[in-house]
Amino acid sequence: MRILSEGDILFILAAVRWTLLLSVIAFLGGAVGGLGVALARTGEIRPLRFAAMAYIKLFQGTPLLMQLFLAYFVPGIFGLSIDPWGAAALGLSLHASAFLGEIWRGSIETVPRGQWEAATALGLRYWPRMALVIVPQAVRIAVPPTIGFLVQLIKGTSLASIIGFVELTRAAQIINNATFRPFTLFGLVALVYFVICWPLSAYSRRIEKTFAVASR
């Protein structure tokens, strides 16, 4: 055991960039997949609707930690090599796709049916109807819960430490193994997560109130 130094603290703080980068990549990957899932769930092709529903239930019904383990170990079964960074990005993106897909599906279906019927009466087929009429209205509804999920995703990146990805939590674990100062180190980690997540949560609540007032 050695003394906790300034360099140790800087090492932990430097790992914040990996937490943020992983969060951004997972969110963007989840947004692409989630949009596909949402459109499949609200589309007119029944097999796609069932496939999207099964996908959502699979990822919402299993622990994120297990999903990260599978993303890390399953490619090896097929002779593919994947490092902790790639596995973490893949696992979190698939996880985010399921949750964002369900959030956005709910937002799309919240758009009043009159808007759907009006777009259909204008002769718009599915894709133009969604792109020009439904999705622009659903975006306003989806923004607050989407930001709320982003907060959960940022905190969820801490589980990537279990497969060896050195983000904020893993960096603290490494230093704690050498200094045995868990209260100080993990208290610092908790503070950093709070500084990152609290402004997003506050912004989500403000946007939600703004939209609620605008819709009256």
Q: Of 107, 95, 108, 106, whose CA–CA distance to 31 is shortest?
A: 95
| pTM for the whole structure | 0.91
* Positions in the chain short of pLDDT 70: 211-216
The answer to whether residues 55 and 37 touch, using CB atoms and an 8 Å cutoff, is yes
Query: What CA–CA distance (Å, rounded) separates 21 from 158?
Result: 13
* Residue 33: CB atoms within 10 Å: 19
Q: How far is CA 100 from CA 1, 148, 174, in A?
A: 44, 11, 33
The domain limits of the chain are: 6-214
* Interval 18-68: pLDDT, tens: 999 999 999 999 999 999 999 999 888 899 999 999 999 999 999 999 999
Query: What's the fold here for domain 6-214?
Result: MetI-like fold (1.10.3720)
